[in-house]
Amino acid sequence: MKLGVIGAGSWGTTLASLLGKRGHDVSLWVYEEELLASMKSHRVNHLYLPGVKIEESVFLTGDLGEACRGAECLIMAVPSHVYRDVLERMAPSLRGDEVLVSATKGIEAGTLMTMSQVATSVLGEVRYAVLSGPSFAREVSLGLPTAVTVAAFSLDLAQRLQEEFSTERFRVYAHDDVLGTELGGAIKNVIAIAAGISDGLGLGLNARAALITRGLSEMIRLGAKMGANPLTFGGLSGVGDLILTCTGDLSRNRTVGLRIAKGESLEQIRKSMLQVAEGVTTTLSLRELARREGVDMPIAEQVYLVLYEGKDPLQAMKDLMNRPLKREIYFHDPFSS
């Protein structure tokens, strides 16, 4: 299969090499000119994936049209805040029958669209899938065992991609709930910031487990209200990714929380981070989305107040713990009136 990977951050570079080793004809679009020159010379992405060799068969290019040309499948691995712009730049080079696979986790600011909705608004009807799940790029690049989900509106398409992307160390499961898979990948980043704050404050493992579990409840509530399959959030793209991002030392979003707890400002953290922590911008969009849908998301709300309103993190914890007592689990039928 001829593939174009759009975006040479750690995840895009990793996927390009993985699929190149799998035997596919892969082009990788690199935005930064200096980085492209370095990658061509050394076959290493020294900025985003240092120390890991890029598969020799992967073609590196700074020409977006060249990366798209002739591709049967295009994998989007750019940050959510530039997703629309990059798609608009790609549009003139597309035939219309390509499969677009999103490896981006976020909710667009302003429109509150998931990435599949952004793609439809830019390109119209498109063969779309989303790749998500617990997968730190560095571990995948080192060949450590990983399992992820690929979801498409057509299960047949998801199963085809499952076959094309799976390797001995990268196991792909097929699913047909695109919205739920996207929401899980976006929301878990916000909860991971909360988990990082909790760990940074030394609140203990009990507190972290509570945040993960109640964060999952928030994810399910919003997803069910918006029409996603609640069972999706019990899978790899939901609780699987949530656990990894809330507990793993490679998590950029957890790192943001840790640094907030130590007293650093969001501005300081943003300026010093080389790669995007999607949860920072998703926090803004998620708050508005929850309000629009009328869904209670107290952890996400407290993360917003800490990041953007200067609320003391310890006070945020106290406010979460002292909310009115309630029943833990109740049945909610998203299809009922």
Q: Which amino acid is at 43?
A: R
21, 53, 188, 318: which is the annotated catalytic residue?
188
Sign of CA dihedral 191, 247, 258, 50: negative
3-class SS string, 210-224: HHHHHHHHHHHHHHH
To 5 degrees, how large is the angle CA 104–CA 107–CA 113? Answer: 110
Q: At what angle do helices 278-293 and 298-308 cross, to 10 degrees?
A: 130
How many Å apart are CA 135 and CA 158, to the nearest integer? Answer: 18
Q: What is the Cβ-side half-sphere exposure of residue 129, based on CA atoms within 13 angstroms? A: 28
Q: Is 40 a catalytic residue?
A: no
Beta strands of the chain (E only): which ranges? 2-6, 25-29, 44-45, 49-53, 59-61, 73-76, 99-102, 127-132, 146-152, 170-175
By CB atoms closer than 10 A (0-12, 13-18, 19+), residue 198 is buried
Catalytic residues: 188
